[in-house]
């Protein structure tokens, strides 16, 4: 697709997001989007088949933006927590999810509240990234020579990371104050760190000492 065509397509997707934020899913029509984008309906149909196609484009774009922002924000926050206890790194993950989703709150509210299947499509990649980072953090901090029941630990990390990501996602998509949301994340990450640390200890096999 040429640059001009890409620009027009992005213009239409942005207009779709604006219509969704103002009118909701039920108010999303191809005519409303075309008018908002400043293009003819015929032009719109050269890029998108129907309302659902427009919605899918916004969903994909929002998910990609959230993922990119999460990666960027977490890199900054994790640098701030480097050398500190692991719970600070876990807290950085939660706050990164919170910040990344908050930047798209209006659209995320529409996507998740009015079309329930959208929640899993947006949240899934965030949960996967959270689990991947959490797993790396814990296994990089394990005691040398310690043997883990890796299957159990992976399951616990996936479960806890999913809870962390979904809670932060929901907080960001609702109208809580920033202070309340951040305090909630702090309490949650401290609790989850305790659960993970305890679970890993329970399934660890330490080398015998002479």
CATH T-level assignment (fold) for domain 1-48: Arc Repressor Mutant, subunit A (1.10.10)
pLDDT at 112: 72
Provide the pLDDT for residue 204: 67
Q: What is the 3-state secondary structure (H, E, C) of 152-205?
A: HHHHHHHHHHHHHHHHHHHHHCCCCCHHHHHHHHHHHHHHHHHHHHHHHHHCEE
pLDDT at 92 over 90: no
More confident residue, 21 or 80: 21
CB 99 within 8 Å of CB 73: yes
Do the domains spanning 1-48 and 59-204 agree at the CATH topology level?
no
| Domain assignments of the chain as residue spans, ordered by start | 1-48, 59-204
| Averaged pLDDT, 194-207 | 72
Band of pLDDT at residue 32, cut at 50, 70 and 90: very high
CATH number for the region 59-204 comes to 1.10.357
Q: Assess whether pLDDT exceeds 60 at residue 145.
A: no
pLDDT for the residue numbered 19: 94
Least confident of 86-90, 113-117, 127-131, 191-195: 113-117
Confidence at residue 36, expressed as pLDDT on a 0 to 100 scale: 97
pLDDT at 136: 80
Cα(179)–Cα(170) distance, integer angstroms: 15
Question: What was the pLDDT predicted at 57?
Answer: 93
- Residues 108, 101: contact at Cβ < 8 Å? yes
If one compares 143 and 11, the residue with the highest pLDDT of the two is 11
| Residue 166 main-chain phi, psi, to 5 deg | -65, -40
pLDDT value at residue 48? 97
């Amino acid at each position: 697709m040429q640059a001009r065509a890409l620009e027009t397509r992005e213009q239409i997707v942005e207009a779709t997001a604006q219509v969704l934020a103002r009118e909701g899913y039920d108010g999303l029509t191809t005519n409303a989007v075309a008018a908002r984008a400043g293009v003819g309906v015929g032009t719109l149909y050269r890029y998108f088949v129907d309302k659902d196609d427009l919605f899918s484009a916004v969903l994909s774009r929002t998910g990609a933006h959230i993922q990119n922002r999460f990666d960027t924000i977490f890199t900054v926050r994790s640098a701030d927590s480097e050398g500190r206890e692991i719970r600070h790194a876990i807290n950085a993950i939660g706050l990164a999810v919170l910040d990344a989703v908050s930047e798209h709150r209006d659209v995320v509210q529409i996507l998740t509240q009015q079309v329930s299947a959208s929640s899993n499509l947006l949240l899934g990649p965030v949960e996967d990234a959270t689990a991947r980072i959490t797993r790396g953090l814990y296994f990089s901090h394990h005691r040398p020579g310690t043997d883990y029941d890796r299957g159990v630990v992976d399951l616990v990390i996936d479960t806890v990371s999913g809870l962390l990501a979904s809670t932060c996602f929901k907080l960001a998509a609702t109208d809580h104050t920033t202070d309340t949301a951040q305090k909630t994340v702090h309490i949650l990450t401290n609790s989850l760190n305790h659960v993970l640390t305890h679970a890993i200890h329970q399934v660890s096999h330490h080398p015998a000492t002479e």
